[in-house]
Every structure is written in structure tokens, then in C-alpha cells.
Structure 1
């Protein structure tokens, strides 16, 4: 009988130890799984904004607007620091002519409309220069 009592006392100690090891293993596996999930399935990190380089001033151009008015436009291009050389302004001027020549003066007279047109122009110029131009500045914008 004494042997049976000792065996009965040792069994709960071993089962508690096993239970503790199993619980610890489950916690470690869940933690590792959660860490792996967040590492692989979290969205891509936000791209770092480009470092500004030189600002290249372009010559002023005069455009015919759609309703018989004129637009005198002078642009400057903000190149990125990783651009190998200063961007040639001919692409930007061609895009600006295409973008503004068929617009009526009413479409460009408010600040909001001008900002929207500038954003569209910036996007097209950035695509044309393959990301080497990060911003476009209107240094002269006169409508008549």
C-alpha cells in the first residue's frame, strides 16, 4: 500500500511538469507564428521620399488656350539627387504644351484648378523622366 501511495503522489508531479512544458511550447509556437504572419503579410513599407537634387529652370513658353486666350508659362524641374545629369527640359515643355494648349481659361483660373493641372503635369513629367524629376514649379503663369 505504501508503494501505491508513493506512485499516486509522483504521478501528479510528472503530469504538472508535462503540462507546463506543453503550455510553454504552445505559447512559443503561437508567438512565432504571429511574428511570422506580421513579418510576411503586413503591407509593404512606405517608400522613402527621394532626396532633392538640382532645380533646372526652363525657358518661358507662350501657349494658345482653347478659347482664344494665351498662357505664358515658365517651369522649373526639381531633379532627384540620384539623377545622373540635369534633365533636358524638352520633354517637360512638350508635355506642358500638350497638357495646357486645349484647356479654356476658365479651367485654369482658380487656384484649385491650377493645382490639379500642376499635379497632372507633375505625374506625366515624372513618368517621362523615369522618376528622376520629383517636382515641377510654375515660376511664371500668366493668362491673357
Structure 2
């Protein structure tokens, strides 16, 4: 028996040349979708990194004069104010003496009468229980300091030196 072999392209049943799948076309066909997925993953990661960088840039606290904490002023003179009696509610009174801490460089020419008027307005008419309560006493002291600081720009702090109720 003689075997015949054709050299050349294989022919399918109808006589048209058959298409061979070569190893290279199979590799490209199989690598197509994973490459697209890999590209998609890279793109998503890139977007997330850019979004994080933008958020860090926007939310980062920048050092500025407005955000920086205010430096405490240097302390200067302390002006004592003579004790006074302030009328409280129900016939009671408060003997109140205080000193005013000024900023460094401020002159001692503080209008003590005006400071006394502010203190009288702050404390008068309060109940004895109210002025004797330590928490409320601190609140009243802070209120006095706020009013004195608004009136006299050089005031830094207030120290209670005499505080007696009856």
C-alpha cells in the first residue's frame, strides 16, 4: 500500500483551505481578557490613590496665622484694687478685692473706678449660695475678666484677693 501525503495546506471537506489554530493565536486569545482586567485594576488603584492624595491635600491643616494658637502675652504689672462691699440678694453682701494683671509694657494708669464699676455690676444681686459655689465663682471671675479685657485691652488676668460673704 502506498501512502500519499500532501505537502502544503490542509484542505477541509469542501475544498477550502482549513484554518489552523497556531499556538500564538491561542495565546493571544487567552491573554486578551486578563490584560483588560489587569488594566482595569491598575486604573482603579490609580483613581483611589489620586482620590486619597486629593483628600489629604484638601483636609491637611495648613500652618497659617489664623490656625496657629495665639501666644500668651508677656505678663507685666499687677494693679491691686481695694476691697469693696457688693450687695447680694436677701440683704447679704460680698466683700470683694481683686488685682488686675496687665500685659508687659502697659502703663499703671488703669481706671480703677471703672474696673470697680464692672465688678459691682457683675456680682451685685446674686444669691449667697451662687457666689459661694466654687464652680459658679470661677464662672463669675471669667465673666469679670471678659468684661475687663473688653474695656481695657491691656488686661490679661484677674486675681481674687478678698472674697468674703455674709
Instruction: Pick the structure with more helix per residue.
Output: 1
- Give the total of aligned pairs: 138
Give the structure with higher Rg (CA).
Answer: 2
TM-score for the superposition, normalised by structure 1:
0.66
Q: Where in structure 1 do 4 or more consecutive aligned residues deviate above 6 Å?
A: none
Mind listing any 5+ residue stretches in structure 2 that lack a counterpart?
Answer: 1-20
Mind listing any 5+ residue stretches in structure 1 that lack a counterpart?
Answer: none
Task: Render the CA deviation track for 1:22-68: whole Å, top value 9, x for unaligned.
Answer: 0221221231243245337xxx9684462451251223042341455
CA distance in 2, matches of 1:14, 1:143: 86
CA RMSD of aligned residues (A): 3.5
CA distance in 1, matches of 2:28, 2:128: 97
**Larger relative contact order (C-alpha < 8 A, sep ≥ 6)?**
1
How far does residue 138 in structure 1 lie from its aligned partner after superposition? 0.5
CA distance in 2, matches of 1:93, 1:39: 47
Alignment partner, residue 101 of structure 2? 78
CA distance in 2, matches of 1:30, 1:36: 10
Of the candidates 41, 49, 60, which is equivalent to residue 39 of structure 1? 60
TM-score for the superposition, normalised by structure 2:
0.59
